[in-house]
Amino acid sequence: MIILSSYKSTKTLNQSFMKFYSKKNLHFLLHDVFQIETLSQYPFFEEHNEETYNMVLDACTDLSTQKLRPILTEMDRNAPDFVDGRIKVHPDMKDLMQAFGDGGWINSPLSYEEGGQQMPYMIFNATLFIFGAANYSASVYPFLSAGASNLIRSFGTEAQKASFLENLYNGKWQGTMALTEPDAGSSLGDISTSAEPTEEGYYKIKGQKIFISCGDHDGVENIVHLMLARIKGAPKGSKGISLFIVPRLRPDAAGNLEYNDVTTGGIFHKMGYKGAPIAHIITGEKDDCRGYLIGEANKGLLCMFQMMNEARIAVGFNAASIASAAYYASLQYCRERSQGRRVGTKSAEQSLIIEHADVKRMLLFQRSVVEGSLSLLMECSRYADLVRVTTGEEQERYEALLGLLTPVAKSYPSEMGCLSTSTAIQCLGGYGFTEEFLPEHFYREARIHPIHEGTTAIHGMDLLGRKIAKDQGATLRILIAEITETIQKAAAVASLQAHATNLGTTLEKLVDTTMNLSMLGMQGKLEAFLSDATLYLETFGVVIIGWQWLKQGLVASQKLDGTDDEFYQGKLYTMEYFFEYELPKTRSLLKTLQSKTSVTVDIQDGHFD
């Protein structure tokens, strides 16, 4: 029983070691819903099977439990410090980066020839989820390196690969994505960092970057920035942006490292996610910052979008992982905390709060968000794996579906993760608002994700204005066919018929709304067309998660047939909750999207005073 009056209670101090994700749910999604073993029919994955996948997940859980989770609170309470021009991080990060490198966690999806394990993205991203649920701040260091090294691997020269990849993969060096500038923000076409060509083949880089995750720290020997800059004389806007490798320390001809005129200007102090530093980087103050062009000149954004799209899926996993950790923290509390009596009883003893219907509603909400989000993210990971091993029209189909769902996979877990972690705090009541209990920590941690890798509004405009419109709705029609297939299968199961009908009706209304909004775009009324793109993304997301819950419900109902397994029964209860409590929210959203109001367009600056 929790000793609520004492900060020094054993239960309170040991919260760092409580459950942070469901192994059974992850296995359910991987093996039962998405049948990851079917990937073994492709030569690239043929050496893997259920046993190898589970061994990887178990090893990830062991590392998370033994190394990441114990320093969760320490990394939050003792944030990185800016000392004498450098950023100092938690002392365990050096050993952790070494462990990530030695364990092959950074480059596991790569081919055997490249030193990888040919691991499916479904498993790689599952490890991202587990690490993030254990300790989000610690988990981002290696996966930033994975993204940066993938860009060098995809677009770099053989010399560049030889110079940088090995040390990024083994955890000795840190990779980053350096995009944002003080005066540009998400508008990358407005960046001012310059690159001047030299006769020696490198470029002189000069400018500033802000909000660079792990942009400087003492847990590694070197920092390698994948940086956007504009070559002098290049076209204005996004068409004149190039991508460069800009290391803090550059290798000379003998392989020794020398300072590359990359200075840390300071550190940003965040409300959460404190264990990973966010740096202000200044390049070329002494006119000696060397950058190495990667890919073609003026095609930097095309290269960077590969990393950004990977990062957007990763942000979705990160958001789901934090929501998962918060859910299990609140679930444990609700199972131990006694307060009040269950409605309709006259017991002298207080009830555990998990017996109260409203508390169960809050737990169901959290579980529906966590497991619905994780299901969608696994769907996207499966598409990413199939893109790697198929060809022709089949490959194009999976690539298009992945592109269409990426804004949803990034934004739904991010936005709903904030609400889910807030609900975890509510389950604890006043204790949830204190540092002595973990949900407060997770609530602060979650808030970055609607901002990371493009704000929700940007992804709303991307979904409605680009992804749906770019091929006259062809990819949307493919997705609708996928959802419809699930609806038809569910309609054949008596217990799922009502939910199948409900989702089908909502899908039809979403399609009608999409067509009406698209007409505004075709008429040239672009501001009206995109003014409520965020609401459209929200509606789209609820429908997609409904699809994922119906898929899970189909499998759970088959597994439950003839048994009384509480896990599968819990799945069906959570699915029912989603269809009765969450899916109906689309009615008001669709009504707003169909409205003729132009209030958000018409109102002007002076009207807000």
What residues are annotated to the active site?
453
Both structure tokens of 579: 């269809």
Report how far residue 127's alpha carbon sits from residue 409's, in angstroms, rounded to the nearest whole number: 17
Both structure tokens of 208: 């500033």
Both structure tokens of 21: 């994700």
529 in Cβ contact with 460 (< 8 Å): no
Element (H, E) at 601: helix 599-602
Residue 8 CB burial class (10 angstroms; 0-12, 13-18, ≥19): exposed
Three-class SS state of 93: helix
Three-class SS state of 289: coil
At 235, phi and psi to the nearest 5?
-60, 155
Distance of CA 206 to the CA centre of its chain: 31
Strand partners, 227: 178, 244
First CA to last CA across the chain, in angstroms? 52
Report how far residue 544's alpha carbon sits from residue 527's, in angstroms, rounded to the nearest whole number: 26
The CA–CA distances, whole Å, from 220 to 132, 257, 562 equal: 20, 13, 55
26 in Cβ contact with 57 (< 8 Å): yes
Q: Which residue has the tokens 């590359």?
A: 260
The DSSP 8-state label assigned to residue 352 in this structure reads B
Q: Give, in degrees to the nearest 5, the angle at Cα 507 between 504 and 513.
A: 145
Report how far residue 204's alpha carbon sits from residue 194's, in angstroms, rounded to the nearest whole number: 8
Q: Which residue has the tokens 């609401």?
A: 535
Strand spans (E) along 289-372: 290-294
The CA–CA distances, whole Å, from 443 to 67, 372, 420, 425 equal: 22, 19, 9, 8
